Structure 1
Amino acid sequence: MLALFKPVLFVCGVLAMSMAAFMLVPAVYSMAVDDHEAMAFFSGCGWSAGIGLVLLMSNRSRDFTLNARQLYLLTSLSWLMLSFFSALPLTLTDHPLTLTDAVFEAVSGITTTGSTVMSGLHDTPPSLLLWRSMLQWIGGIGVIGMAVSILPFLRVGGMRLFQTESSDWSDKSLPRFQHLARSLVAVYLGMTLLCTLSYWFAGMTAFDAINHAMTTVSTGGYATDDASMGRFDNTILWIATLFMMLGGMPFTIFIRLVSRPSLRVFRDDQIKGFVLIVIVLVGVLFLQQWLTTDREPFEILTQAAFNIVSVITTTGFASEDYTLWGSFAMALFFFVTFIGGCSGSTSGGMKIFRFQLSWLFLRDQMRKLVHPRGFFVVRYNRKPITDDIMGSAVAFSFLFFVVLTLTTLALAATGLDVLTSLTGAATALTNVGPGLGDIIGPAGNFASLPDSSKWILSLAMILGRLELLTLVVLLSPVFWRG
């Protein structure tokens, strides 16, 4: 058993030290603006670095390898650990959050969910706002790295459909992985910088531009004001819409685009499906609002496009309280919550490719009913779909709705109403952010929920971010007997 944990804890030590280093950024910024919160970050840095150092020194090994069981353990344990470390500064401020609220806020940040228990953000020390944004930005690059390197090796997630090379962690593949990691970081940094400049040129302050760029590209949704994006004009909303769309696409596509510029990279079936679904949903919502309200058409289009893209990419920004747009809009946004972006993006949700695979599977079954003796090959991205990929998609979908049901019932057992329980469970598992209703809707937050509800939602956010199976496998007896 010690052999199972030793390399995992070593990597966790590295991650703890990395998180400690990130805490120095808001600490230095706090000193620069004199918002009296520097000590909270220095203290959090000290605790994280100290624990990280202990893990590093006590688990060093010359032969460092990670097998599949250890990767499952590392993936789950690292996200749980980073969530608690990132909560430390929030409990040590001059106006500290409770442990429950701090963990909830940190989990929501690191998983790029965007649900919040904080209000009065315009009066919140800027270093704390910067830390919230940084958590989502860190979580975003972590999500991409996990999606393209670890989950495919564990046969979880969808990037196996889009890769031409193996994602194993053998010595032979290490240079390839290091090159991929550097390319992902470069693209992620470049997109964040471009988004920052776009916001700044459009009229945001430098502070708002930096914070919102980090939470836009990471499809996280944290803002620097309680009004979220509602205090900005249409130009900024369209910029946000564009970068949320980009954040919802596979980042490996952008690497290929940079290395070999060609628009043919966008012929990817997943991207085409993603763009088509967004266009249809925006068109439907625009038409419904245009026929039932007297607002200006361009204003309707802007609000419809921004909020649909925000929800489908699981960003969670809000420019208006769309629950006031009528029953049709509420129902539409509820179902859009489940879709999500592309595999290999910073988005959460069930992912576009699973819906596409389900449709291909359904179409194949209908053809077999008509032609029982026929032989049909199901293809995706011009490649045959193997049974294990199809089985993985079916297993995920089944597990998702089982966990959604259990989470909804657990929240209802804490005293929440049905709408809050159902949409709270959905928004946590899909990492969207706001739910529906007066309490956790776009105009509310999660502060008034019981502590027990917040812990349930925190676990659900991590479950959703790890694509469910990664964490659920740890709870199965076969994992510990293997």
Structure 2
Amino acid sequence: MTRLASLPLIVLLIGIGALAMLIPALHAWVVRDLETARAFLYPSILFLALFAMIGIATSNYVIRRQGRSHLISLLAFYTVLPVMLAVPLAEAVPDTRFFNAYVEMVSSATTTGFTMFAPERLPDSVHLWRALVAWLGGFFVWVTAIAILAPLNLGGFEVASTEEVGQGASVGTTAIDRIADPSERLVRFGAKLFPVYAGLTAVLWVALILAGDRPFVAICHAMSTLSTSGITPLAGNEQSGAGLGGEMLILMFLVFALSRLTFSADDRADGWVSLSRDPELKLGLTIIVSLTVLLFLRHWVSTFEEPLDVSFREGLLGLWGALFTVASFLTTTGFESAGWDSARAWSGLSSPGVLLMGLALFGGGVATTAGGVKLLRIFALYKHGVREMEKLVQPSSVGGAGQAARRFRRQGAYVAWIFFMLFALTIAIVSTLLAGFGLNFEEAMIMTVASLSTTGPLASAAGEAPIILAALNDGAKSVLVMAMILGRLETLAIIALLNPEFWR
């Protein structure tokens, strides 16, 4: 086991991906879809043999810069590994090109949730494979955020750090050096977080089955909820057998995408009491409740302009539909409530695209599976803005809450603003490239926000009509692939890779 853990990270990921192919192969064999079973079994055997050969060849390889190596492995996980993951998908789905399968796997690995195929076109085992890859991608985000990005002050951790972005914290003792080693941190946090991640998924799976979902649909939705990928084998959430009860269960588990304190005991200095002081959780819940109430109250405003014939029951269903959908898109999951249409009718909201894209851009918590700008950066900018307004009223006032809070409001807000500007610039560049490949302004903006925030369901929910990804040309798909990878890794991590000091 120690020898396996010492292998390069990308080699380990090849082995894990090859083993994961056996799960849909077994499922296809159980449902007697032998052709699909072979499509997953044979590549699994092939890539396990490849893993064994590469593992033997690299068993004595000594990595001089662990942080740099693992950051490169992060990039390889989202760019190179989907090539392997796409092989069984391309074999199992007839009449599709390998490039389309590759785009699908990048979408799953980054937990974006874009799909190139209509649900009825894919066998159940392929739907399971999409959800499983996204689920593994979500766990990968959990572990690498703490084990790799946190020591390098990337991924949102730079907001509260005193060190330079991408350079890591300075350490003074041998014991701390060992704890900060990325390989040891990967093993330690992986072993600690996997039972939590798998256990939460299993609990939600069983709960959705009890609520009325088929076991297959329940496991797909459970994995998609924990990974915030929004992948579903159904054409719409209204087809779910769990109904309103299933949505309530999913909403409860979306809280794990708002703050890492909900699942990481190491960050809770005062136990569960720390949650009450967590700025990300409080900000996320405030946004969800506030927007839901505003959408609900908007009904009274819209009735002055045009009377709406909506019953009280439809109003309550609309209130729930707004609550669930707002929470889902804020966490970049992208599930739509079966009552979302009632919510739009109740509030008179005919074009919800801007609202949903704004929520996805805000995103969830740092070191969670959610994408977007992240709530901690939004909170840092908010605190800085409040402090600046206080200084306008009382120029000689001194900011309270201690040195750490003052550093958070100053340096933290400064780094958050830089990231926000880079994010806005990336939106402009990606949308321009998509427009150059034939998309109109609305489609280009929706697809840009969806890919950079890793919220694929925006493609079908934000516009007047769903955007069909399969109809896009290869140039547009290539831009989306780059945008999804950039959205998951974040701009600062890419800049850190390009920093000459990082390679010295």
Note whether the superposition's TM-score is higher than 0.5: yes
1:198 is aligned to 207
What are the Cα deviations for residues 317-352 of structure 1, in whole angstroms up to 9, with x where unaligned? 224576886346333223212111111211111111
2:86 is aligned to 87
Letter in 2 for 1:182: A
2:471 is aligned to 448
Q: 1:198 offset after TM fit, Å?
A: 1.3
Letter in 1 for 2:326: I
Whole-Å separation in 1 of the counterparts to 2:271 and 2:502: 47
Unaligned runs of 5+ in 2: 163-167, 303-307
Whole-Å separation in 2 of the counterparts to 1:88 and 1:291: 53
Letter in 1 for 2:154: V
Q: 1:148 aligns with which of 123, 146, 149?
A: 146
1:318 is aligned to 336
Q: 1:15 aligns with which of 10, 13, 16?
A: 13
What are the Cα deviations for residues 412-460 of structure 1, in whole angstroms up to 9, with x where unaligned? 0001010000111011000111236789778554222222111111111
Q: 1:128 aligns with which of 116, 126, 129?
A: 126
- Provide the TM-score with structure 1 as the length reference: 0.88
1:290 touches 1:297 (CA, 8 Å); kept in 2? no
Letter in 2 for 1:194: V
Q: 2:253 aligns with which of 228, 239, 243?
A: 243
Q: 1:463 offset after TM fit, Å?
A: 0.6
Letter in 1 for 2:178: D
2:142 touches 2:367 (CA, 8 Å); kept in 1? yes
Matched, 1:104 2:103: yes
Q: For residue 458 of structure 2, give the secondary structure of its aligned residue in structure 1.
A: coil
1:423 touches 1:435 (CA, 8 Å); kept in 2? yes
Q: 1:51 offset after TM fit, Å?
A: 4.0
Aligned pairs (5 A) from 1:342-357: 342-357=365-380
1:83 touches 1:110 (CA, 8 Å); kept in 2? yes
Whole-Å separation in 1 of the counterparts to 2:170 and 2:464: 40
Q: 1:224 and 1:302, CA in 2 relative to 1: closer, same or farther beyond 3 A?
A: same
Whole-Å separation in 1 of the counterparts to 2:404 and 2:491: 25
1:116 is aligned to 115
Aligned pairs (5 A) from 1:14-53: 14-35=12-33, 36-53=35-52
Whole-Å separation in 1 of the counterparts to 2:364 and 2:45: 37
What are the Cα deviations for residues 362-415 of structure 1, in whole angstroms up to 9, with x where unaligned? 223333444555543577996842855333322211110111100000000001
Q: For residue 92 of structure 1, give the secondary structure of its aligned residue in structure 2.
A: helix
2:481 is aligned to 458
1:183 is aligned to 192
1:257 touches 1:265 (CA, 8 Å); kept in 2? no
1:196 touches 1:210 (CA, 8 Å); kept in 2? yes
Letter in 2 for 1:428: S
Q: Please give the root-mean-square deviation of Cα atoms over the aligned residues, in Å.
A: 3.3
Q: 1:443 and 1:8, CA in 2 relative to 1: closer, same or farther beyond 3 A?
A: farther
Aligned pairs (5 A) from 1:405-416: 405-416=428-439
What are the Cα deviations for residues 185-238 of structure 1, in whole angstroms up to 9, with x where unaligned? 111111101111111111001111111101111111010112245545222122
Q: 1:367 and 1:251, CA in 2 relative to 1: closer, same or farther beyond 3 A?
A: closer
Q: 1:156 and 1:377, CA in 2 relative to 1: closer, same or farther beyond 3 A?
A: farther
1:249 touches 1:342 (CA, 8 Å); kept in 2? yes
Whole-Å separation in 2 of the counterparts to 1:125 and 1:306: 29
Letter in 1 for 2:38: M
Whole-Å separation in 2 of the counterparts to 1:380 and 1:216: 38
Letter in 1 for 2:60: S
Matched, 1:265 2:278: no
Q: 1:100 offset after TM fit, Å?
A: 2.3
Q: 2:318 aligns with which of 287, 294, 300?
A: 300
2:327 is aligned to 309
Letter in 1 for 2:224: T
2:68 touches 2:503 (CA, 8 Å); kept in 1? no
With 353-362 and 85-94 compared, the bigger mean Cα shift is at 85-94
Whole-Å separation in 2 of the counterparts to 1:8 and 1:456: 35
Q: 2:500 aligns with which of 463, 478, 482?
A: 478
2:165 is aligned to none
Whole-Å separation in 2 of the counterparts to 1:455 and 1:412: 13
With 170-179 and 227-236 compared, the bigger mean Cα shift is at 170-179
1:4 is aligned to none
2:211 touches 2:246 (CA, 8 Å); kept in 1? yes
2:159 touches 2:380 (CA, 8 Å); kept in 1? no
